Every structure is written in structure tokens, then in C-alpha cells.
């Protein structure tokens, strides 16, 4: 999509833009080990970008706050967003530096190891974000950034329209920063999309100290999710991989939804794909169980292909929803 005036966005993404150079290997190498590369491919990526492209594939109107340099990787990243129907009004162009890159190694079980060159991702400044374009969004979806852009994300919070929904997937990078560093974002978050491991990294020690919970007392993922919800985040979604996903919200809806078990080729974008399915459902007003189910389904489609090539289109989802509604009619 080109830059278009006066358009309303269902979801605006704000996160890194990276070119992923994916290498399929026989096994992820450990320290001082050598393994064979079976194949390689290059594709544009970035956590929030994957989610936004997934949403665009599903027919939502989307845009993206991200930064690219004047290089081959930047051209690829821009083309990829436009090709999938993402509006470029919020894209930031840099005359200096390099675009972000990720070297990813994926084994035959779909497990991964990633190495990142952040490039201009870490240089987004607050005055580079157009407040008029920002106000046209219904939801803004945050994922982790680098350098001064992390501060920009925090500073932007005060400029978000009161009616705008903030969706936040902290990822491992932000989870390791801790609750205090993320407080400005978390206090404004309406939807927390987090995987189980990252939730424990981010929240377990925080709640043990705050609530005087002894180390020998078990804290389950559900315990943490309830505490997070009770602290003011309206909807908390815990992504649990092959165990499915859990959700709880301020209406006291609570669901555990099993995963769709498939042969996974690449789990790199599984969480991002889940986010796309869930946010699509949120925009459409689906209930919590249906929303989590759609998230699981979109993720199950994505992991069967490399990168984001397996992200489903709206026709596929409509077929799935038709079957889902038949099976759950009257429930």
C-alpha cells in the first residue's frame, strides 16, 4: 500500500523491522560445536511486523511505526509491508545507518537460535512519529525495541488517544528488563500477549517480593496471570506453545484452549502469528475462548511453513470460523 490520507487503522504496529536470514540446520550448535547448514533463505521480519502482516492478510486495515535505512534490506522491508497491504504512512526513513537484520538458525524440529543487528531500529525519536496518523488507530501493538527507541515507546504512551487500545507483547528482551522498567507501558496496557516463560521471567520475582511469597511456595502461570489482571490489565493471554494458550480478562472470563497439533517446520513466528489471530478476533468482538482459539489456529498454520509464508488469508480463516461456529452453536 502507498501513503494514503485520512484512513482509519484497525491496528498500528510499533516494533522492529528486520531482514531475517534463516538457515535450516541439522541441529542447533552448542559451544565449540560445528553443525551443517541444510538450506538458507532470506525474508523480511520483525515481531510486530509479522503480526501486522498477519492482520493485513486477514483483511484488517493496518499501518506500522518502524524505521528503515536507505539500503537493500530497507527496500525489502518496505516492499514486504506494501505487498501485504500494510499502509506506509507511519514508516520512518533514515538517510544514515543500516536496516535491522536477524540471523536465525532453525533445526529440523522447528527450534531456533537468533542473532540480531539492530541497525536504525534503535534510533526512532518521538518527533518522528506523526500524531495525526497515530490518532487514526483503534489498537496500537507494541513489541520490544532497542536503544533510544525503548524510551520513545515509553514517551509515546502519554500521547496515545484515551480511546486507543494498547496491545503489548514484551518478548524476552523486555521481560528481562523487569516490571519497574516497563511500568509506564504496563500501566497503559489493555491486552498483554506473553508466553509462559517470559511471564515468569518478568513477573515471578516481582510478585514474590511485593506480596511476600516465599520461594518454596509454588506460583503457577495462572496465579501470575490473575495477579497481572488484578493489577489493571484488562486481558491477559499466556501463550504456552504445544500446550495451547490461556486467557483471563476483567469480566472474569477464563479459558484454557489446547493447541492445534501440527508438524512444525519453523516456530520463529508462532507467537507473532497467534497475536494476529487474537487481535483480529478482538477487533471483530469475538468472546475470549473464540479469540484464543483463532490465535492458536493462525499460529498452527504459520508454523507449518518457513518464516511467515504460512500465515493464512482471510478466506482460510472464514472457512475455519464457519466450522467453529457450527461445532459451537448453542454453547
Asked if 193 and 239 touch (Cβ cutoff 8 Å), the reply is: yes
Predicted confidence at residue 3, as pLDDT, reads 60
From the number of C-beta atoms within 10 Å of its C-beta (0-12, 13-18, 19+), residue 72 rates as: exposed
Mean pLDDT confidence for 153-173: 98
Mention every residue, 6+ apart, whose C-beta is less than 8 A from residue 231.
none
C-alpha cell recorded at residue 181: 522498567
102 within 8 A of 18, measured Cβ to Cβ: yes
Whether 213 and 221 have beta carbons less than 8 Å apart is answered as no
Among the residue ranges 26-30, 96-100, 308-312, the one predicted with the least confidence is: 26-30
Structural domains of the chain, with CATH: 9-324 (3.40.1190.20)
In whole angstroms, give the CA distance from residue 70 to residue 76.
Answer: 11
Task: Tell me the CB-side half-sphere exposure of residue 73, using CA atoms within 13 A.
Answer: 24
Residue pLDDT, tens place only, 189-220 = 999 999 999 999 999 999 999 999 999 999 99
Q: Evaluate whether 19 touches 102 at the Cβ level (below 8 Å).
A: yes
pLDDT for residue 4: 64
- The phi and psi torsions of 83 (rounded to 5 degrees) equal -60, -35
Task: State what percent of residues in the chain have pLDDT above 70.
Answer: 98
**Rounded CA Rg of the chain:** 19
Question: For 48-61, what is the mean pLDDT?
Answer: 98
Chain position carrying cell 489471530: 277
Average pLDDT across the chain, whole number = 94
Distance CA 275, CA 273 (A): 5
Q: What DSSP assignment string belongs to 73-86?
A: HHHHHHHHHHHTT-
Q: Quick one: pLDDT band at residue 132, thresholds 50, 70, 90?
A: very high
Q: C-alpha cell of 240?
A: 504456552
Query: What is the arrangement of strands in the sheet containing 235-239, beginning at the earlier edge strand?
Result: 91-94, 62-69, 9-14, 137-143, 165-169, 191-195, 235-239, 245-249, 254-257
Question: For the residues 141-164, what does the mean pLDDT come to?
Answer: 97
Instruction: Give per-residue pLDDT as tens, 314-329.
Output: 999 999 999 999 999 7
Amino acid at each position: 500500500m502507498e501513503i494514503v490520507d485520512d484512513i482509519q487503522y484497525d491496528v498500528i504496529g510499533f516494533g522492529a523491522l528486520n531482514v531475517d536470514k534463516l538457515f535450516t540446520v541439522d541441529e542447533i550448535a552448542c559451544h565449540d560445536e560445528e553443525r551443517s547448514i541444510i538450506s538458507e533463505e532470506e525474508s523480511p521480519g520483525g515481531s510486530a511486523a509479522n503480526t501486522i502482516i498477519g492482520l493485513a492478510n486477514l483483511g484488517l486495515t493496518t499501518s506500522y511505526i518502524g524505521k528503515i535505512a536507505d539500503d537493500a534490506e530497507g527496500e525489502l522491508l518496505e516492499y514486504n509491508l506494501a505487498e501485504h497491504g500494510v499502509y506506509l504512512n507511519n514508516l520512518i526513513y533514515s538517510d544514515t545507518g543500516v536496516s535491522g537484520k536477524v540471523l536465525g538458525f532453525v533445526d529440523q524440529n522447528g527450534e531456533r537460535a537468533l542473532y540480531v543487528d539492530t541497525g536504525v531500529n534503535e534510533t526512532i525519536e518521538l518527533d518522528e512519529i506523526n500524531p495525526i496518523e497515530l490518532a487514526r488507530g483503534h489498537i496500537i501493538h507494541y513489541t520490544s525495541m532497542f536503544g533510544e527507541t525503548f524510551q520513545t515507546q515509553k514517551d509515546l504512551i502519554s500521547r496515545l488517544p484515551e480511546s486507543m487500545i494498547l496491545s503489548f507483547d514484551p518478548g524476552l528482551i523486555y521481560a528481562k528488563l523487569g516490571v519497574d522498567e516497563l511500568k509506564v507501558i504496563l500501566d497503559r496496557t489493555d491486552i498483554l500477549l506473553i508466553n509462559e516463560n517470559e511471564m515468569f521471567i518478568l513477573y515471578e520475582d516481582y510478585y514474590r517480593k511485593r506480596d511476600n511469597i516465599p520461594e518454596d511456595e509454588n506460583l503457577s502461570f495462572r496465579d501470575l496471570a490473575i495477579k497481572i489482571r488484578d493489577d489493571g490489565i484488562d486481558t491477559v493471554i499466556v501463550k504456552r506453545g504445544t500446550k495451547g494458550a490461556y486467557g483471563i480478562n476483567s469480566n472474569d472470563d477464563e479459558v484454557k484452549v489446547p493447541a492445534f497439533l501440527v508438524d512444525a517446520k519453523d516456530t520463529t513466528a508462532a507467537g507473532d502469528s497467534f497475536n494476529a489471530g487474537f487481535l483480529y478476533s478482538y477487533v471483530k468482538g469475538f468472546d475470549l475462548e473464540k479469540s484464543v482459539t483463532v490465535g492458536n489456529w493462525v499460529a498452527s498454520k504459520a508454523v507449518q511453513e518457513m518464516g511467515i509464508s504460512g500465515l493464512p488469508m482471510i478466506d482460510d480463516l472464514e472457512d475455519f470460523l464457519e466450522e467453529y461456529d457450527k461445532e459451537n452453536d448453542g454453547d
